[in-house]
Amino acid sequence: MESLNSKIIELIKERNWNKMTDIQKKSLKPILSGNNTLIIAPTGYGKTEAALLPVLSQMIESNAKPVSLIYITPLKALINDITFRVDWWASRLDFLVSRKHGEVPQKEKNMRLKKVPHILITTPEGLEIDLDWASRFREFYKNVKWVIVDEIHELVNSKRGIQLSILLERLKEFSNFDFQRIGLSATVANEDLISSFLFGSSSRNPSIVRISDSKNFELRIKKICGNDIWTNSAKEISSSIESPSLIFTNSRFLTERLHEELEKLNQEGIFVHHSSISRESKNNVEEHLRAGKAKAVICTKTLELGIDVGDIRKIIMYRPPPSVASFLQRLGRSGHCISGVPKGEIFCIYDFDVLEALSIYYLAKKGIVEKPGISSSLDVAAREILGITLQYEKVSPEFIYNVLINSYPFRNLKKEKFEEIINYLIRNGLLSLEGEDIKIGKFFFKLWNFNRNRNFSWTKSFSEFFSLINNDDTFILKHNDRIIGEIDAIYVYKHIRIGDIIRISGKLWKVIKIHSGRMSIEVVPTDSGEGEIPVWKGDGIPKSYLLPKEISKLIRNIDKINHNILDKNAVMEINDLLSVYLNHKIPLPSNKIIIIEKRDKETVYTTLLNERISNTISHMLLYLATSKESLNTYARSSIYGFSVSYTEKDLLKDILKLSDKKLKQLILKSVLRSPLFISVLKEIQISFGKVGKVNNKEDKILIKEALKQTVNRYFSIKGTLKFIRKIKNNEIKIINYDGITPLGDAVLSHAPIKPWLFSVYTLIYESLKGGAYTISELSETLGISEKSLENKLKQMRKPDSKFRITSFIDVDSREIRWCLLDDLEKIVESDDFYTSFSVLNENETFVAVLRQLNGNENTEIIFKPKELIDNFDEIKHRIPFEEIGELRISDPVDPLVCNLSPRFYYVNKKSIPYLLLNAVAYIQNLKYS
């Protein structure tokens, strides 16, 4: 402590600290020596002060100018806490502190230029805005000597982290100074990777400071029993709450649903906190916690990080968290000091929940957490290229390239790939060339514009340019101009109407107006009626890759588990699960065995495997099923196995026959057909300036990048190839079982994955296969309006259609039926439509008038039905065109029916004999009925 400036030591005494924590002591030397430093410690060890105090000490001694220190945090919600915490020290040392994020009042933002702060607390987006656009304020960034990045482990795996790594290199270039970089992190698996990511191109000596002693924690795992899971969950959790408690769930839906059930038990002082409620609502909840007025808060990941909410007595987790890292973060919110012991409970609703909770417990006890993964997303590179161009107005591509490759994620970026990005941005109008330099193109401010009343659906607010947080289209809920929360647009379009009652932020709201243009919904509070809880996209969190192997190990050592952390229901659940396997002499669940079982319409393959591998195999099975069987199929994936529906064939056998090369091709085809690929494509295309339809030739770089990101995020090519090789080599055994297993139930508890059709034409094609249907029948089957469907069908009968169709008259019902052109002959011969092609008099004379497609030439053919029946090919020889624009058939003798002449459009020559028969059957049926 003596190495700190005397003013800092005086302030430590003023705070009544007996001593500094171990992590604070260890951090002094490397930071005061000017080293880039990564500080690793659990929550509650004083990491903020470990970084801040030695920096303040140096600021005093160097007579720091504004802005000297930038403190970056991943959450806007953390900024207020950090500002208050930092300002306590800084204000007493005559240093000004300022905060910057989207919700800071404009008046406070304007003060930055009048009273420039020595310390700025912001987010990656805040730094982006300043470097790109704040031309006056960014001049003060030339004084930056220190950057502290809080919760760095949260940023590393994300695009915001990649963005920050480039921003730090931009800041270094702009300030022309190799500032000191300090990162604060929770316990991580690969600390060298985190430090390399943060330190980037800095030439300062690197240091990693950590504390090795892991905090003890108390955990209890409970199983909720009974048929009424929601009521029982609420009762169990209600009796478990120790005020104040945090109740973590894994989704926004579960958060709202659980609150609804607790409300029914007349529980008071329980609040909701998640990303889709307004900042004002979240602030209110946090304030209630700090003031001791909240009994409990049901929350998602939003309260995992270090927002100051006072002392939390207990952590309750409703279902196991998705990862060990998340478990430690959540549990660390209680016992939020070095001497405090974190205390928590995990409530399980399935038998496999108990296995997951136990596995997470043992992994955490052994200090095993997930390794971070760092990607090099080209959409982030594209945004930063544009950001640098905004900053310098006119800049050489070589300068931008050097900045990018100085960042850790893009250290291996090839010059050719960089030039490809630049050319693509120029072609899309976001950039333009001026000699050897580039500048912002004309389309940039059309895409990201200042006009809030947007003329086009693809335009974005200019403020959105600076953020890489994936803001899917959402409707804002407002009451008296106060924001209540937000709901996914797709959910609103499908389910929300005026008069509906919605439950959000733990309250009921009645919809009084929906403004689709402004993407807002006006609501008023209500106490009456049942509220509908919205379902949000992105609520499905993938489970840790560490779990399958740990569960497999756990099952094999079940006699060694710590029964003291399980309640009697949890113990019973594990015993019941294992007894099914033991009593039926089935091998215990393992990552070395696949058990195949038939369940109604599904073939279920149970095993224990990485969720991304499971997802890859399930998509391959789905691709094969939709290609060989029907579109009316689905698949499932989980760490407990995978399944596919509506197929008698064991499609896994087909996969096992493929070479590695063919397997890769099948995986990529499966990914391209996945809705996950479409979602990623839509997410990244705006960064490249691509609006409208994506073209396979013109947009290769976009499609390749979307494919790469989709695979990296949701699938595993290497892992899947290795898994299949193990099956082929008999390292993983396959067993067929004529019965039901608990892991089979676990697979079936997961939501089905349905095939994604890029085009409604494919959907129509699949629905028409082998049959003939009216527009109303197809409309009901496909869920497409009759008018839209009719337009699509008319397009599909044209010669350039990939799936050529035709139509004929159903003589019995006198309706038009549509079928595939290739199926027409089979339909003519089928019993179902016998009367539609059966003539009543073969010797009557008819006239067919054929108009050439895309031409003015007409041909008239006089024929008798007998000629058609005797020799189909003969009539074809009399037709001079391959494609006919219009075919009209009439009875030249009977004036009563000559005005009812059947007409067919866009007719292929090979279908003419059948359509002539159909027209004659129809005319004769009218005449003789």
Could you tell me which of 38, 296, 291, 409 has the C-alpha nearest to residue 188? 38
* Residues paired with 510 in a beta bridge: 501, 524
Which whole number is the average pLDDT over 824-835?
A: 92
pLDDT digits (tens, 9 = 90+) for 147-163: 999 999 989 989 999 99
For the stretch 620-629, contacts whose Cβ atoms lie closer than 8 Å and that sit 24 or more positions apart, written own/partner, are 620/655, 620/666, 620/667, 620/670, 620/720, 621/651, 621/652, 621/655, 622/670, 622/753, 622/755, 623/666, 623/669, 623/670, 623/673, 624/651, 624/654, 624/655, 624/666, 625/651, 626/673, 626/755
Instruction: With CA atoms as reference, report the closest residue to 345 among 240, 216, 495, 425.
Output: 240
In what helix (H) or strand (E) does residue 378 lie, and over which residues does it extend? helix 378-392
User: Residue 413 forms beta bridges with which residues?
Assistant: none
Architecture of domain 218-365: 3-Layer(aba) Sandwich (3.40)
Instruction: Enter the tokens of residue 241.
Output: 């709450």
At residue 647, the pLDDT reads 73
pLDDT at 337 over 60: no
Indicate the angle between helix axes 660-672 and 717-728, nearest 10 degrees.
130
∠775-778-781 over CA atoms, to 5°?
150
Paired strand residues for 40: 185, 210
Whether residue 56 has pLDDT greater than 70: yes
Q: What's residue 79's pLDDT?
A: 87
Among 104-118, 383-397, 655-669, 697-711, the least confident range: 104-118
- Per-residue pLDDT averaged across 823-829, rounded? 93
Average pLDDT, the chain: 89
* Distance from C-alpha of 882 to C-alpha of 859, rounded to nearest angstrom: 13
Length of the chain: 929
Tell me the Cα Rg of the chain: 33
Which SS3 state, helix, strand or coil, does residue 380 take?
helix
C-alpha pair distances (Å), 523 with each of 141, 480, 499, 537? 44, 8, 9, 22
Residue 465 in tokens: 């340019």
User: 3-state secondary structure string, 585-649?
Assistant: CCCCCCCCEEEEEEECCEEEEECCCCHHHHHHHHHHHHHHHHHHCCCCCCEEEECCEEEEECCCC
Predicted local confidence at residue 147, as pLDDT: 98
Asked if pLDDT for residue 898 goes beyond 80, the answer is: no
Q: Which of 9, 14, 43, 44 is nearest to 28 (CA)?
A: 9
- With contact defined as beta carbons under 8 Å apart, do 145 and 105 qualify? no
* Higher-confidence position of 69 and 877: 69
Q: Which of 828, 826, 827 is nearest to 837 (CA)?
A: 828
Write down the pLDDT at residue 383: 98
Q: pLDDT for 576-616, tens place per residue? A: 999 999 999 999 999 999 999 998 889 999 999 999 999 99
Which residue has tokens 């893009």?
410
Q: Is the pLDDT of residue 784 over 80?
A: no
Residue 452 has pLDDT above 60, yes or no: no
Joined together, the tokens standing for residue 494 give 């499908």
Element (H, E) at 286: helix 279-290
In 3D space, the residue among 899, 904, 897 whose CA is nearest the CA of residue 918 turns out to be 904
CA 314 to the chain's CA centroid = 31
Q: How many CA atoms lie within 13 A of 852 on its CB side?
A: 9
CA distance 184 to 527: 45
Residue 902 is classified by DSSP as -
pLDDT beyond 60 at 889: yes
Secondary structure string (H, E, C) spanning 446-481: HHEECCCCCCCCCCEEHHHHHCCCCCCCEEEEEECC
Across the range 220-248, mean pLDDT stands at 93
According to the model, what pLDDT value does residue 2 have? Answer: 76
What are the boundaries of each domain within the chain? 6-210, 218-365, 378-466, 474-525, 584-744, 760-928
Q: What is the pLDDT of residue 493?
A: 60
Topology given in CATH for the domain delimited by 378-466? Sec63 N-terminal domain-like fold (1.10.3380)
Query: Sorting pLDDT into bands at 50, 70 and 90, what band is 494?
Result: low
Task: Describe the chain by its helix, strand, coil percentages, rounded to 5.
Answer: 45, 20, 35
- pLDDT (mean) for 118-144: 95
Residue 257 has pLDDT above 90, yes or no: no
Best-predicted range by mean pLDDT among 212-226, 777-791, 848-862? 848-862
d(CA 670, CA 642): 15
Beta bridge partners of 432: 439
**pLDDT, mean of residues 897-926:** 90
Query: Is 679 in contact with 706 (CB distance < 8 Å)?
Result: no
The reply to whether 378-466 shares the fold of 6-210 is no
Q: HSE on the CB side for 765, CA within 13 Å? A: 17
Cis before 342 (ω within 30): no
Class for the domain spanning 6-210? alpha beta
β-partners of residue 511 are 523
Note the pLDDT tens digit of each residue in 166-190: 999 999 999 999 999 999 998 888 8
At 354-375, the pLDDT tens digits run 999 999 999 999 989 999 888 8
Predicted confidence (pLDDT) at residue 519 exceeds the cutoff of 80: no
Residue whose C-alpha is closest to residue 607's, from 622, 626, 588, 585: 588
How many angstroms from the chain centroid is the CA of residue 557? Answer: 36
Query: Which tokens belong to 658?
Result: 């493929």
Phi and psi of 9, rounded to 5°? -60, -40
> Do 322 and 510 touch, CB atoms closer than 8 A?
no
Task: Check: CB of residue 853 under 8 Å from CB of residue 799.
Answer: yes
CA distance 718 to 272: 41
Give, rounded to a whole angstrom, the gap between the first and last alpha carbons of the chain: 107
Q: Which band of pLDDT confidence, cut at 50, 70 and 90, is reported for residue 757?
A: low
Q: Which of 443, 418, 420, 419 is nearest to 431 (CA)?
A: 443
The confidence band for 513, taking pLDDT boundaries of 50, 70 and 90, is: confident
Residue 339 pLDDT > 60, yes or no? no
Task: Report the DSSP beta bridge partners of residue 834.
Answer: none
User: Is a pLDDT exceeding 70 seen at residue 540?
Assistant: no
Backbone φ and ψ of 478, nearest 5°: -130, 145
Six-digit token pair at 556? 């094999």
Residue range 707-718: mean pLDDT, rounded: 95
DSSP helix/strand/coil, 314:
strand
pLDDT > 70? residue 719? yes
- Span 80-129, pLDDT tens digits: 889 989 999 999 999 999 998 766 777 777 788 889 999 999 999 999 99
Query: Which residues, other chains included, contact 682 with Cβ-Cβ below 8 Å and sequence gap of 6+?
Result: none
Determine the average pLDDT of the residues in 35-51: 91
Q: What three-state secondary structure class fits 820? A: strand
**Which residues, 6+ apart, have CB-to-CB distance to 926 below 8 Å?**
897, 900
The residue type found at 775 is I
Task: Give the integer Cα–Cα distance in Å for 559 and 513.
Answer: 60
Cβ contacts of 340 within 8 Å, gap of 6 or more: 44, 334
* pLDDT(517) > 70: no
